[in-house]
Amino acid sequence: KVPVGKTPALAKSSEVKIRVELAEALKGEVKPEDQVYIFAQALNGPKAPLAAVKKQVKDLPLELVLDDSMAMMPGRGISSVEDLKLIARVSSSGNPMAQPGDIYGELELKGQDRSGLKQIVIKDTVQ
């Protein structure tokens, strides 16, 4: 139910459901213990994560919810921005910052396109 005076299009969702999986072709190139960093950031503006989760390759494929409770800074969660970029990256070094050779997948969500399950396939290599 939408509060009086608000339209559904203007109500920003405070969560996004995602499924993260590793491309079949890359399964032999990673170790089960390699870290997987999954995070949301503003598509435009500061690149600091709005929500973040750390898993391992052995957990893939997985489904999870990124929401405002995972905000790194108070008041700066998923609901604080209009457009999101979702990123899932495998780090064999364990470094949370992207390193050349890491593999990743990303997805851009513009406006209110946050309903339903969004899929990220880890298939690209950081240059």
66-101 pLDDT, tens digit per residue, is 999 998 888 899 999 999 999 999 998 989 899 999
Backbone angle region of 94, left / alpha / beta, with phi > 0 → left and psi within -120 to 50 → alpha: left
Provide the pLDDT for residue 12: 62
Provide the pLDDT for residue 113: 78
Residue count of the chain: 127
Calculate the alpha carbon distances from 39 to 9, 21, 25, 63 in Å: 24, 14, 23, 13
- pTM for this predicted structure: 0.87
**Full pLDDT tens readout for the chain, 127 residues:** 444 443 344 446 789 999 999 999 999 999 999 999 999 999 998 888 999 999 999 999 999 999 999 988 888 999 999 999 999 999 989 898 999 999 999 999 987 778 899 999 999 999 9
Provide the pLDDT for residue 115: 86
For 3, residues 6+ apart whose C-beta sits below 8 A from its C-beta are none
Provide the pLDDT for residue 8: 42
Provide the pLDDT for residue 5: 42
| Chain centroid offset of residue 85 CA | 7
Per-residue exposure over 6-39, b if at least 16 CB sit within 10 Å of its own CB, e if not: eeeeeeebbbbebebbbeeebeeebeeebbbbbb
